[in-house]
């Protein structure tokens, strides 16, 4: 799914989580998304995953994805945004998350990292925190202001 095509992204993600909760008869309150970065080109995907959704169309700001180390890496000089690889959003019980070193990366709809709180309790710009594999401490990426952006300004 091209996540940028949804006006109310949080609603789409909640719907995918609800489908999983109903399928496996699990209370939705026990579920959060775990994430798996896919090392395949999004044009090579023929079918959706059994559970969750494959998400594409996002950009990394302040870093790049290194497919060789399967983790975040420093940006190339003078490159602010890089294409984020396809990510599998997997509804999972929080106690069953993959036990790897991650950076809790915020996902924003736009490069403006602020938004007005809507009547639903959701920000108009912030989507959610995505766990991204990293070989460095989380503080390293926080200092660089690393985020995932759904839609660039140009």
Is residue 65 within 8 Å of residue 81, measured between CB atoms? no
Full pLDDT tens readout for the chain, 154 residues: 556 666 666 777 777 898 888 999 988 888 888 899 987 766 667 777 888 888 888 999 999 999 999 999 999 998 889 999 998 889 988 888 878 889 999 988 888 877 666 666 666 778 889 999 999 999 999 999 999 998 887 6
* H or E segment to which residue 16 belongs: helix 9-24
Residue-level pLDDT at 137 = 93
Encoded tokens for 137: 């401490």
Total Cβ atoms within 10 A of residue 57:
15
Encoded tokens for 24: 């496996």
Residue-level pLDDT at 33 = 87
Residue-level pLDDT at 94 = 82
Residue-level pLDDT at 123 = 65
Helices (H) and strands (E) in the chain, counts: 2, 10
pTM for this predicted structure: 0.83
Q: Which of 109, 91, 153 is nearest to 6 (CA)?
A: 109
Question: Domain ranges in the chain?
Answer: 3-149
Is residue 94 within 8 Å of residue 32, measured between CB atoms? yes
CATH of 3-149, one of 3.40.50.300, 3.40.1390.10, 3.30.499.10, 3.10.490.20: 3.10.490.20
d(CA 77, CA 5): 30
């Amino acid at each position: 799914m091209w996540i940028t095509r949804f006006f109310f992204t949080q609603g789409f993600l909640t719907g995918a989580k609800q489908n999983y909760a109903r399928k496996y008869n699990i209370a939705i309150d026990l579920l959060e998304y775990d994430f798996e970065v896919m090392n395949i080109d999004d044009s090579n995907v023929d079918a959706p995953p059994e559970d969750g959704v494959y998400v594409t169309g996002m950009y990394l700001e302040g870093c790049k994805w290194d497919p060789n180390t399967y983790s975040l890496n420093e940006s190339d000089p003078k490159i602010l945004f890089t294409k984020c690889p396809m990510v599998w959003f997997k509804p999972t019980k929080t106690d069953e998350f993959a036990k790897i070193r991650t950076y809790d990366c915020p996902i924003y709809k736009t490069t403006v990292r602020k938004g007005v709180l809507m009547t639903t309790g959701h920000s108009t710009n912030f989507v959610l925190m995505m766990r991204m594999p990293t070989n460095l401490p989380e503080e390293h990426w926080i200092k660089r202001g690393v985020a995932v952006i759904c839609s660039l300004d140009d």
